[in-house]
Chains A and B, each alone.
Chain A
Amino acid sequence: MMAPAMSQTPRKLKVATVSLAGCFGCHMSFLDIDERLFDLIEHIEFDRSPLTDIKQVGACDIGLIEGCLCNAENVQVLREFRAHCKTLVAVGACAITGGLPAQRNHLDLGQLLTEVYRSRPGLSAGGAIPNDPELPLLLNKVHPIREVVHVDYSLPGCPPSADAFWHFLSDLMAGRTPHLGHGLIHYD
């Protein structure tokens, strides 16, 4: 072994991930890269993520955002991610277009909450819409994340395939602009 200064391994990229109004399906599809996770972990380390116990996002190279914005906490977390991540990626249909949760956008929010918490059959008497300040208020409409912060890249799919994740992250880690070709780019 010679020249330890030269053979020093490069600093690992810090990656944070989060699910806003997501279904965690994008995270599951990310984990679907299977044993390639062992290769990946040679090059990255996770910051705040549902996969770690870190509560606050720190300075990161890449932030992967799953899910759209449906409540006040989503907006706050998204802004924290934007402030701490050099490259922010909208992952999945929800983060990119609002996705299927945005189908509530043509319904009245008050009516929706009343429907679920007060007038749904099977509720016990005296049911009320939860009003504790600990709970984040819902936004009037669901929004894709690019309507609140600048987004550097989108990784489409519901969810993106494991191969799309792998291809996309490989490109990013190598410093290339990610490019998904036929078969990897899909919206469904």
Chain B
Amino acid sequence: MTDDVSPSQSFSLDGDDLPFASGETILQAATRAGRYIPHLCWHPDFAAHGSCRICSVKVNGRVGAACTVQAAAGLEVESNTPEMNRQRKTLLQMLFVEGNHFCPSCEKSGNCLLQATAYQMGMEGPHFEEFYPSRPVDASHPDILLDFNRCILCELCVRASREVDGKNIFAIGGYGIGTHLLVNSASGQLGDTNMSLDDRAAHICPVGVILPKRRGFVIPIGQRRFDLKPVSQQVEGDAT
């Protein structure tokens, strides 16, 4: 992101004029202005990914992902509309049935971006038939646990490990509904990598896949991140 925001360059977001800098996407410009556009796979420190589609907005009447569409002068962007929020709720319901999102026993509950976004969109139930995937937990690492059945394939851990940690520990493999997160070691086990709790990848997961061991349930209910304020009011504090 650059800081050379010229007030002459602006587009409209839900009817309000929003200035932007050259090269910024709609989501970058909106976030810098403190405007919430729901998103899961986008993170301010990384390039856009475009897999979750939660940030979909209407740009001049056509649907596009706010994380990949570049801001341009005069664009008319609709985000917080009943139509777009309904579509987001459907996408969230799809993500929920694709994994085993048993929030009552998940250590990430209350601090989970997927859950908080579903609260924000008023999702009362997942609506579709459950997939109940059955991928084994990887507990081979001394400090880090992986539960692949909660993965939403945002690829943030892949990007963080490759670009920040320089370790390239994670990858996405497979096709279609079989697409899954995997560990880049000969055995496929996290314990056979040089992953460390200090890595960026160890703390970037927006859901409950990558968890530090022996540190569960430390924050009292009521004080967890999204207990305090809904995700729409924490738009600038996205770094997890």
A interface size (C-beta, 8 A): 30
Q: Is B212 an interface residue (CB 8 A)?
A: no
A-B contact count (CB 8 A): 71
Q: Is B46 an interface residue (CB 8 A)?
A: no
Given contacts A106-B132, A144-B130, A147-B130, contact A93 B122 (CB under 8 A): no
Chain A proximity of B136: nearest CB distance (Å):
9
Distance, CA A103 to CA B100, complexed state (A)? 8
A-binding segment of B78-86, B102-110, B154-162, B192-200: B102-110
Closest A residue, CB atoms, query B101: A97
Contact (Cβ within 8 A) A179 B122: yes
Chain B proximity of A86: nearest CB distance (Å):
19
Distance, CA A155 to CA B126, complexed state (A)? 12
Closest A residue, CB atoms, query B125: A154
Contact (Cβ within 8 A) B103 A187: yes
Contact (Cβ within 8 A) A102 B102: yes
Distance, CA A99 to CA B106, complexed state (A)? 11
Against A, the Cβ 8 Å flags (1 = close, 0 = not) of B92-133 are 000010001111111001100001001110111111011010
Q: Is A182 an interface residue (CB 8 A)?
A: yes
Contact (Cβ within 8 A) B119 A100: no
Contact (Cβ within 8 A) B124 A106: no
* Partner pick for B104 among A100, A144, A182, A185, CB 8 A cutoff: A100
Q: Is B134 an interface residue (CB 8 A)?
A: yes
Chain A residues lying within 8 Å of B230, measured Cβ to Cβ, are 182
Chain B residues lying within 8 Å of A188, measured Cβ to Cβ, are 103-104, 106, 109-110, 115
Closest B residue, CB atoms, query A90: B125
Q: Which residues of B in the span 16-74 have a Cβ within 8 Å of any Cβ on A?
A: none
Q: Is A84 an interface residue (CB 8 A)?
A: no
Contact (Cβ within 8 A) B109 A187: yes
Chain A residues lying within 8 Å of B119, measured Cβ to Cβ, are 182, 185-186
Closest B residue, CB atoms, query A93: B104
Against B, the Cβ 8 Å flags (1 = close, 0 = not) of A147-188 are 100010111101000000000000000000001111001111
Q: List 20 A-B contacts (CB under 8 A).
A: A93-B102, A93-B103, A97-B96, A98-B130, A98-B132, A99-B104, A100-B102, A100-B105, A102-B130, A143-B130, A146-B125, A146-B127, A153-B124, A155-B124, A156-B124, A185-B119, A186-B119, A187-B101, A187-B103, A188-B104
On B, residues with C-beta under 8 Å from A are 96, 100-106, 109-110, 115, 118-120, 122-127, 129-130, 132, 134, 230
Question: Nearest 10 pairs between A and B by C-beta?
Answer: A154-B125, A158-B104, A106-B134, A187-B103, A188-B109, A154-B124, A188-B103, A96-B125, A105-B132, A182-B230
Known: A102-B102, A182-B119. 10 other contacts (CB 8 A): A93-B103, A100-B102, A105-B134, A153-B124, A158-B104, A179-B122, A181-B122, A185-B119, A187-B101, A188-B110
